Chain A
Amino acid sequence: MNKFKRIRKFAQRFSWMLLVVWASLTLTFILSRVIPADPARLAAGLQAGPEQVLEVRKALGLDKPLIVQYFTYLKDILRLDLGDSIQTRQPVLDDILRYLPVTLELVFLSFFIYAILGVLFGVLWARFPRNIFSKFLSFSSILGVAMPVFWVGLLLQLIFAAKLQWLPLAGSLQYQDFDITRYTGMGILDSILSWNSEALRAAVLAVILPVTTLVLSQIAIATRLTKSTLEVELRQHYVRTARARGVAEWKITIFDALRNALNPVVTMLGLQFGWLFGGTILVEVVFSWPGLGLYSFNAFRTFDYNPILAITLVVTVTFVVVNELVALLYPLLDPKLRERK
């Protein structure tokens, strides 16, 4: 009975996830066909005559009715065939598998750093609101949100790469410079797996500026949300009860109040993780980071529609999956939800 219920619940959620993915795919498909640019024209090249363009259009299946194109597209996706990129002349799937890990390196690193630091700063801010550090946070966190990502990136490049020359200006780890194998596509992980300290050093140096840019642009949200929800919790009666029992203040803050305050923070972090995929586009362009962001930037620029559709798929699926994972976290934080399940 219980097991049956659980399966049904899972099936329900899963079909919702599929529905969301389908809806976003359809929407992107419609947009890509409505935009008054001609992919066949672009694919055929500037020198191509009308017959050649027609030929390309036929080859790409763009001459067929829209509804037919749509179903062919859906069918291909089900077979994991995402089409070819006009630009790189390779299957989009191969491109994505190649560029995704490079982006994930940025996304994972900045996500963990800003999740941990954001919550930590929020806690310090809520606990010691009159501290000078808290005042600095309240000022700088507004600044962090207000400054555009690309501008922060350029500023960091100017200071730490151009002026001080401590860090590389742009680009990720150059595999050919070091004798390492491309296991995953993530520079730091590959250098560790290849046991090459030189490469590791280069990989870490390369990652510092883009990750800092991403963290700076995002951290204020986590900090402010943690601070405000924790403040509310610290005013609750149960905190006073714990104090009355003689529990140490830091223990009350972390185990009692923060735990209860974390629920909205976790939700927000989940959404931001999805957002990071989009957020990396600007950062990757500024830092010439050869990941999915740069790839999609080039695809947008040349109206290479297959990669655009594929990237939409990747981002949507990530969003949906991360949010589902976040939903699984709630019962860990709130035992009441555990019972209801």
Chain B
Amino acid sequence: MSTPLLSVKNLEVRYLSATAKAVKGISFEIQPATCLAIVGESGSGKSTTALAIARLLENSANTKASEILFEGKNILNASKKELRKLRRERIGIVFQDPIASWNLSRKVGTQLLDAFDKSERPERREKLIHFMEKVGIDKAAQVIDMYPYMLSGGMMQRAMIAGALLGNPVLLIADEPTSALDVTVQADLLHLLSELRKEQGLAMLLVSHNLAVVSQIAERTVVMYSGEIVEEGPTSTLINSSKHPYTVNLIRSMPAMDQPRKVNLYTNEVRNASSEGCVYANRCPLVIPICNSQKPELQLIGETNVACHRHSEVKKLLEVSNGSITSDS
């Protein structure tokens, strides 16, 4: 394996207002020009992870990590000036909610060019128009002088992507880039993102709660639950032969056109999560006593890393039950 573009070791984030950690010591890597997806439900810490890497959490959260290596340099030690340069030229970021992510009272172009020196702007402006056309904005030269509120949500997000590409980044962080948009626009934008990624040779960190989205784009996927990685591996393997009950549930929860909706494998029992045990123990249908007393470590099984005491039984148990599993305990 080549040296990774981004390597995160033992990332921990605790929001100042919260008692529990949002991210509990996770590690992962992104290879150059590949896409890594982080999936999980709301509150699993996936967006927090993405923001922590760009060091955009500074004021509201306490971020700790052994290291966050980006292009061989530890981002955690970067000065404010280096960080600005990094965000301007090496890392592009696309956020979830296009309306909230734009300042509605300043022109699109002004905002996107703000980071660049005055002398650079005319040249960057040309480039921005080029990128805007590339992401499918008609009359880009006019849109650049419009205010964001004049655009539709999809257009705002396209412009946002164009802006993220402006500095020629090597890594694009996309934090649920399509979840605020309607379904047809979502498909377009995802297609666009993966095209652009291949064309520009970008690496991408895609944060999503939607495995279907991820399966189209990402080479590798990390599944997060409650601030921890429960499973990690090549996307297709992860989806087709999931070894963690949570991943299974995540896949089953997606509605499919040609099949009746499957029942989630949750137990109805309310159990307290114990701090020593598995994070998923309180909702897991396959829970056994050891799950509550001993934390399963991530271990390489086949092609995927999985953190589950019963990973070998997941498949078998699921075949037995067709739809719902009653818990053992």
Contact = CB atoms under 8 A, between A and B. Distances in A.
- Asked if A and B are interacting partners, one says yes
B112 A245 contact: yes
Interface stretch (A167-175, A176-184, A246-254, A270-278): A246-254
A243 B87 contact: yes
Q: Which 8 A-B pairs have the closest CB atoms?
A: A246-B88, A246-B87, A237-B100, A244-B93, A238-B103, A246-B84, A246-B115, A241-B101
A336 B147 contact: yes
A246 B120 CA distance: 15
14 contacts: A238-B104, A240-B95, A241-B93, A241-B95, A241-B101, A242-B103, A246-B115, A248-B84, A248-B115, A256-B103, A256-B106, A256-B111, A259-B106, A334-B105
A336 B104 contact: yes
Contacts of B263: none
Contacts of B149: 336
Interface of A: 236-238, 240-249, 251, 255-256, 259-260, 333-336
Contact of B163 (A236, A245, A249, A336): A245
Contacts of A248: 84, 115
Nearest to A337: B105
A155 to B, nearest CB: 39
Contacts of A244: 54, 56, 87, 93, 95
A246 B105 contact: no
Nearest to B86: A246
B102 A247 contact: no
Given A246-B83, A247-B115, A256-B103, 9 more contacts: A236-B100, A242-B115, A243-B87, A245-B115, A245-B164, A246-B89, A248-B84, A335-B104, A336-B104
A276 B93 CA distance: 48
B105 A259 contact: yes
**Of B83, B93, B160, B167, most A-chain CB atoms within 10 Å:** B93
Contacts of A259: 105-106
B328 interface: no
Interface in B39-90: 54, 56, 80, 83-89
B114 A237 contact: no
A333 B54 CA distance: 31
Interface of B: 54, 56, 80, 83-89, 93, 95, 97, 100-106, 111-112, 114-115, 147, 149, 160, 163-164, 167
Contacts of A237: 95, 97, 100-101
Contact of B114 (A236, A242, A335, A336): A242
A246 B167 contact: yes
A333 B56 contact: no
A335 to B, nearest CB: 5
Contact of A335 (B88, B97, B105): B105
A238 B85 CA distance: 19
A248 B81 CA distance: 9
B70 to A, nearest CB: 14
A138 B54 CA distance: 33
Given A246-B84, A255-B114, A240 B56 contact: yes
A243 B104 CA distance: 16
A72 B87 CA distance: 72
Contacts of A245: 87-88, 93, 111-112, 114-115, 163-164
A248 B114 CA distance: 9
Contacts of B95: 237, 240-241, 244
Contacts of A334: 105
A250 to B, nearest CB: 11
Contacts of A256: 103, 106, 111
Contact of A246 (B85, B102, B103): B85
B102 A255 contact: no
Contact of B105 (A247, A251, A336): A336
Contacts of B106: 255-256, 259
Contacts of A243: 56, 87
A241 B112 CA distance: 10
Contacts of B85: 246
Nearest to A256: B103
Contacts of A242: 103, 111, 114-115
A237 B103 CA distance: 9
A292 B112 CA distance: 51
B99 to A, nearest CB: 9
A35 B160 CA distance: 67
A259 B147 CA distance: 15
A39 to B, nearest CB: 54
B147 A238 contact: no
A251 B89 CA distance: 18
A241 B89 CA distance: 15
A182 B89 CA distance: 61
- Most chain-A Cβ atoms within 10 A of its Cβ — which of B83, B89, B104? B104
A238 B112 contact: no
A56 to B, nearest CB: 61
A243 B59 CA distance: 12
A333 B112 contact: no
